[in-house]
Chains A and B, each alone.
Chain A
Amino acid sequence: MTPLVDVLTSRYAYVLFALLLGIGLYMIVSSQNLVKKVIGLNLFQTALFLFFIASAYLAGGQAPIVHHGGKEATYVSPLPQVIVLTAIVVGIAVTAVALALLVRIYAEYGTLEEDVLREVRSDD
């Protein structure tokens, strides 16, 4: 019990990350509504961002901007931040494309529910 409580208290970020990952994946897989699937995808990706940020956390760290004078300090690694920024942008682009596809699907089939969609499509 104690190790679990240990993990929950000290590494709660990772626990949250795993939880969000799982929720996102579950939404992708089991939601009937296509929009919710896309939301799940976003949640999944957001969990990843959380992971990157959490793993880069440095207690007492400073933003990695060196003011002139070159102060000696503990700087956070900029790499994970860069990664997360890029990944956010990628995620936005993907979501935009997904939503555009959803608009097209709705315009054609009139529904965004997967089960209804399957029925309608089988009549195609």
Chain B
Amino acid sequence: MTDPTVAPVLLIALPIVAAAVVLLAGLRWPRSGWPISLVALVLEGGLAAWLASAVFGDSGRLVHELGAYGRPGENEFAVGIELVADALSATMVGLIALIALSVLAVTRRAGPRGVPFYAAYLMLIGGLMGVSLTGDVFNLFVFLEITGIATYTLVASNRSAPAAVAALKYLIVGTTGASLYLLGVGYLLMATGTLNMADLAATLAGEPSFVDGPMYTDPLVLASFAFIATGLFVKAAIFPLHTWQPGAYDEAPDGVTVAISALVSTIGAYAFLRISLSVFTPAFFEATPIVATVIVTVASVSVVAGSALAVMQSRIKRTFAYSSVSQFGLVVLATGIALHPDAGASAAEAALIGAVIHLVGHAVVKGGLFTAAMGLALDSDARTIDDLAGLGRQSPVLSAAMALLGLTLVGVPPAVGFLGKWYIVIGAMNADLWPVAVVILLSTVLTLAYVARLFEQLYFTPAPSGDEAGAEAPADTSDDHAMAADGGNSADDGTEEHLSDPTPGAPFGVVAVAVGAAILAILLGFAGAEFADALEPFVTEVLGQ
């Protein structure tokens, strides 16, 4: 078996190269975008599995030095960029690979198509992999921007003007955020002289000889954390820096929304987790207690405000977008608890595991919800919540998937939404952070407020024109449509526009992914022990000194 340390490089390089291949091949064969992407992402999945088996198996933490520059001396800083794969990175990589393939299945028939779309999509995946695997803070910025540019393009990819406006807003806000992050990196560079995450952690802790003592209380370091955190909060869409998200999610083509909702903000939250834990380390937060308090407060506000705003929405996609604000608030809240100086070892561990579980679980659930929403929009042109009336009968499978995923989001056990919350609440209580525990518990009811309307409309509101399709609808409308769609292969002319007929019905790919997401969400709910075990090395490395 070849050395698994090459896996991180391939994981990042493959999609980027594939994007170029798609563009080139598209000149000659315009409809080759999907097959090439499929091959690339399947290989990507294989690489992710290989990496996971190495990281969770024998190798533990993998480090690959790009260009093999190495370190000039024993205690010198790394010269080049390092790619690091530990338990957390491997989890994220697996998640990205899985969702990438799912989105490909979703967009096969219904989503945007065409060579530019696939090229941008592959770039997005490449950028996401890069963020997960990099061990260098500036490299993180670069990949964050790659992800960002790809996302701006994808949001605008249906070429409609509202989408362009939303994409522009996202661009401006997102780039400002990324630039703030860059400023923070600059301050760190000024303070320490290195950009490598491991070296930064050591330097900030005061280990190298040219530093006398830990630098945690240095105003430069504090300022850098503030800028970095702000920039990453923009990317993760934490209130009040979330303003780009609802427009971007709503106006983007449905297939794109599935991808970005599941992955892009997730990677922003992951980056925050990574930098706080691996670069600044809990020691920083102990030295500056105010920081953890601020994080926890801002996150709590985000949890409440996101739900409150979600309740007020009438369009389905905007509701889910604001819901993301709330859920990522929960993840950042958990991170804050894990970093809080009052948190003992068990509290921090519980909160951290909860943060990761919720990060992964939310990605699955939110992606599934948007997929189901896409399916319902294709079936019945349902865009607002009121449009959902009676769809429980017309589109039973999709409605069931949406209802199940909605329940998971609320936190009904035994699914993954509850599991994450349980860990986070235990962490909060163990750390004696009672107001935080109250916020987490209340988030259940707050989420229920907007999810309950979905159920009501789907199942307990009769369809408006009164034409119920009989007392019980036929078992699977979507299968019929899928067959029609497959039979209509010849009509596919490879343009990147939507299918031309108004409500062609949800293709099989969409339904399958929605159902699969629901099932996965429930199964993950039982995987608590597995998560805890898998993350154990990361947790001890980061928390248990």
Contact = CB atoms under 8 A, between A and B. Distances in A.
Contact of B183 (A48, A94, A105, A109): A48
A124 B189 contact: no
Contacts of A104: 156, 159, 161, 164
Contacts of B186: 48, 51-52, 55, 80, 83
Contacts of A80: 186, 189
A90 B142 contact: yes
* Of listed B162, B176, B185, B190, residue having the most chain A CB within 10 A: B176
B138 A86 contact: yes
B161 A108 contact: yes
Interface string A41-59: 1001100100110010000
Contact of A48 (B162, B179, B189): B179
A25 B171 CA distance: 14
Interface residues of B, number: 30
Q: Lowest 3 CB-CB distances: which A-B pairs, in order?
A: A108-B161, A104-B164, A101-B168
B165 A105 contact: yes
28 contacts: A28-B172, A38-B172, A41-B175, A44-B176, A44-B179, A45-B175, A45-B179, A48-B179, A51-B183, A52-B189, A55-B186, A55-B189, A86-B138, A86-B142, A87-B141, A90-B142, A94-B149, A94-B171, A94-B175, A101-B152, A101-B168, A101-B171, A105-B161, A105-B164, A105-B165, A105-B168, A107-B161, A117-B165
Contacts, number: 79
Given A44-B179, A108-B164, A55 B149 contact: no
A109 B161 CA distance: 8
A98 B156 CA distance: 11
In terms of DSSP, what is the predominant structure of the interface of chain B? helix
B386 interface: no
Contacts of A28: 172, 176
Contact of B162 (A41, A44, A124): A124
B153 interface: yes
Contacts of A13: none
A121 B162 contact: yes
B381 interface: no
Contact of B168 (A45, A86, A102): A102
Interface in A14-71: 25, 28, 34, 37-38, 41, 44-45, 48, 51-52, 55
Given A48-B183, A94-B149, A55 B190 contact: yes
A36 to B, nearest CB: 11
A109 to B, nearest CB: 6
A79 interface: yes
A97 interface: yes
In terms of DSSP, what is the predominant structure of the interface of chain A? helix
B195 interface: yes
Nearest to B79: A79
A90 B145 contact: yes
Contacts of A101: 152, 156, 164, 167-168, 171
A77 B142 CA distance: 20
Contacts of A79: 189, 195
Nearest to A86: B142
Contact of B149 (A25, A77, A87, A93): A93
B331 interface: no
B378 interface: no
A98 B190 CA distance: 31
B182 interface: yes
B135 to A, nearest CB: 15
A41 B172 contact: yes
A80 B149 CA distance: 23
Contacts of A117: 165
Interface string A102-124: 10110111000000010001001
B236 to A, nearest CB: 19
B183 A41 contact: no
A121 B141 CA distance: 34
A79 B160 CA distance: 42
Nearest to A40: B172
A83 B171 CA distance: 21
A23 B195 CA distance: 28
* Of listed A34, A45, A79, A94, residue having the most chain B CB within 10 A: A94
* Of listed A34, A101, A104, A107, residue having the most chain B CB within 10 A: A101
Given A94-B171, A97-B171, A101-B164, 20 more contacts: A25-B176, A38-B172, A44-B179, A45-B179, A48-B179, A48-B183, A55-B186, A83-B138, A93-B145, A94-B145, A94-B149, A94-B175, A97-B153, A101-B167, A102-B168, A104-B161, A104-B164, A105-B164, A108-B161, A109-B161
